Chains A and B, each alone.
Chain A
Amino acid sequence: MTAAHVRKALFGFYILVFFAYLFGPLVIMGITAFNTPAYPTVSPFERFTLDWFSVLAADKDLVYGLKKSLWIAVLVVLVSVPIGLAGAMVMSQIYARARSFYYLVVVSPVLTPGVIIGISTVVFWRQTTNFTGTKFIYDGTVLTVLAQSSFIAAYTMLIFLARLARFDRTLEEAALDLGATRARVFFDILVPFLMPAIASAAVIAFLSSFENYNTTTFAILADKTLTTVLAGRVRQGTTPALSALAVTIVAITVLGAILYEILKRREEARASRRAAVAARAETQEFAVAPAAAE
């Protein structure tokens, strides 16, 4: 055996261990969801059952938390995507020292531990509410949206920055020369160009909000979301109903991913068809144009 063979075998072994580490815990959790004992266990595998899924559906706290989490995630998308877009546009328009200072401020939430964002939001709004009397802000849902958006907006900003870097400014100028207003340029040129980035920013914002724990556990106050309910459960002791929940989440997201993939392929196919048609039209135009010139 040569050295290259040894290296290849070692790499194969590493890949095996890596993916065992990545999937092992989840696979085992998945199996426990279908086993009868009240404590989640794989061996002995007594009997296949789906009871834990009905236990899950009947759990009022979890269902309440789930609804709350979904609601908060929608609000976070609505708050953080526009903010991220604005942040990225401002970033792309300033330069030099002002830019690095601005960058430091808006990227800092990404580099701040989540617990600290949660704590500082609660502390600030408690004090501010005390002397301004704006009681509606000091509410679990509102505070959670504010706290989560502060760093999720930074994520979305990074996505928009990447997309804006490829934006062709001459398109804007052309539209202005043709008499479009600034607002129309924004809505008819920039926003359509950013649409893919807006979609992925929304998805990322939704997911990061939905599964956030560190920030939420402080900002949610006495209220609860799915993750805080789950955290309480897991600490008290574990039941296979939680495994069933994980299986459900995985099933839904796998379906979502497959759907996304199908849509994307279809989009790509459509785009390439359109490109082919455009190319054909162009060659025809070239063939016709000289004749017309004569």
Chain B
Amino acid sequence: MHSSIGQFVIYGLPPLVVAAFFVMAWTERRRLGDAAPPGFVARNGWPVATFLIVAVGLWTVFMIVMPLMAMIDLSFRPKLPPPQWGGPKDFYTLENYKYFLFGSTTSTASWNVTHLTAFFLTIWVSIIITVLDFLICYPLAFYMAQVASKARLRFVLLLLIAPYWVNEILRAFAFRLLFGTQGVINNALVAIGVLDQPIDFLAADVALYAGLAYAYLLMMMFALYNAIETLDKNQIEAARDLGAPWWHIHTFIVLPHAKPGIASGATLVFMLTAGALAAPLILGGPRSLWFTPIVYDRFYQAFNWQQGAAYALILLVACIVFVLGVLKIFRLRLGEIAR
């Protein structure tokens, strides 16, 4: 059995948060006074109201909040064989985080170069992939939203979605066939005499980056498309009549208008890339550089769940920091991007 603090954090806090939510909703109704719409139960009737509360309650408490709390709690515990979990040796410690920084739970003499490099490279490459996806998607998204006829748009949408019917793993597999040493690109380059021997694209991580940019392309595409689509065509027309060159139109009219879409696309692509597991496992070079396979190994190779939880939490915090950073840069609120 775990210490009582941990128990409280995992099982006590979520119900308290739910209670706080109801108090919040109730006080807001009170403040509105007569202007308030009819109450929740009055509006839905008992059977439906019960269904709503039970469904949302189970979802938020048991599927969203409690698991996250349990993971956070576990990340602050030392590695112990399962029978000793919650025993006298199971107390809160920072050793998993220490290990992430220094590669040892006791000494702080040297940095944990492997894991730190992997982590920062993951973040850095995810940012690059995000920018890359934006550059790849913007022209087509603009075309779809502002230029294409309805029939053409439907056709392009179909073409876009079609490749993503194939499983994520098989898509990565396709990139292996393309970039392997015996792959199509190498064979072609050798055959036409550009190369005298094949290049190992997998080791050079070219395949990984191409595959990652490919995997989450649609997130950016649809976010951009939705945002640009709401722009009034007359605005572009007016700017053109006033003599604005095409790049002025994009920089000063389309891009500012598409800001929320860019932010939500960037958030999704970054989050998915940083948390990607299939592509790094299948396309990653022999130098294990991606962070998620390390997290995976903590769990299923090292059987160190506590450390795995800590690493997962580090990744989560990095994602949250990125999202907040994007919001800050674009001066948006969370509600505007997660539409």
Contacts and interface: CB of A to CB of B under 8 A. Distances in A.
B150 interface: no
Interface in A20-54: 21-26, 28-29, 32, 39-43
B57 to A, nearest CB: 9
Contacts of A158: 339
Contacts of B184: 28, 42-43
Given A87-B55, A124-B10, A28 B177 contact: yes
Interface string B4-38: 00000010000000000100110010000000010
Contacts of A94: 25
Given A15-B140, A29-B173, A90 B56 contact: yes
Contacts of B143: 11
B325 interface: no
Interface in A227-278: 227, 230-231, 234-235, 238, 242-243, 245-246, 249-250, 253-254, 257
Contacts of A226: 167
A160 interface: no
Chain B contact patch, size range: 35 or more
Interface in A79-108: 82-83, 85-87, 89-90, 93-98, 100-108
A121 B68 CA distance: 8
A214 B174 contact: no
A202 to B, nearest CB: 16
Contacts of B64: 105-106, 108-109, 150
Given A96-B28, A115-B296, A150 B59 contact: yes
Contact of B267 (A111, A124, A218): A111
A46 to B, nearest CB: 14
Main secondary structure of the interface of B (DSSP, over half): helix
A67 to B, nearest CB: 16
Nearest to B70: A124
A265 to B, nearest CB: 12
Interface stretch (A179-187, A192-200, A281-289): A179-187
A230 B275 contact: no
Contact of A112 (B37, B40, B162, B316): B316
State which size class the interface on A falls in.
35 or more
Nearest to A213: B278
What 6 A-B pairs are tightest by C-beta distance, nearest first?
A: A182-B45, A113-B275, A86-B55, A124-B70, A25-B174, A120-B67
A217 interface: yes
Interface in A144-161: 146-147, 149-150, 153, 158
Contacts of B163: 22-23, 26
Contact of A98 (B28, B188, B281): B28
Nearest to A150: B63
Most chain A Cβ neighbours within 10 Å, of B69, B277, B281, B292: B277
A146 B178 contact: no
13 contacts: A25-B171, A29-B177, A43-B184, A93-B37, A98-B25, A106-B59, A111-B271, A113-B316, A153-B63, A183-B48, A217-B296, A218-B299, A230-B170
Given A26-B171, A213-B168, A238-B173, 15 more contacts: A11-B139, A23-B163, A29-B173, A39-B182, A43-B188, A86-B56, A98-B25, A111-B323, A113-B315, A113-B316, A115-B315, A119-B295, A181-B45, A250-B166, A257-B162
Contacts of B85: 130
Q: Is the interface of A mostly helix, strand, loop or mixed?
A: helix
A221 B319 CA distance: 26
B176 interface: yes
A123 interface: yes
Given A25-B177, A108-B64, A112-B316, A120 B292 contact: no
B153 interface: no
A111 B269 CA distance: 10
Interface centre among B160, B305, B316 (most CB of A within 10 A): B316
A116 B275 contact: yes
Contacts of A102: 21
A140 interface: no
Contact of A250 (B160, B165, B173, B178): B165
Nearest to A29: B174
B262 to A, nearest CB: 16
Nearest to B25: A98
Interface string A106-147: 111111111111011101110110110000000000000011
A209 B220 CA distance: 21
B94 interface: no
B282 interface: yes
Contacts of B295: 115, 119
B71 A113 contact: no
A131 B1 contact: yes
Contacts of A186: 44-45, 47-48
Contacts of A21: 136, 214
A97 to B, nearest CB: 6
B182 to A, nearest CB: 6
A14 interface: yes
B252 interface: no
Interface in B136-155: 136, 139-140, 143
Contact of B169 (A43, A124, A230): A230
Contact of A234 (B25, B48, B172, B182): B172
Contact of B275 (A115, A227, A238, A245): A115
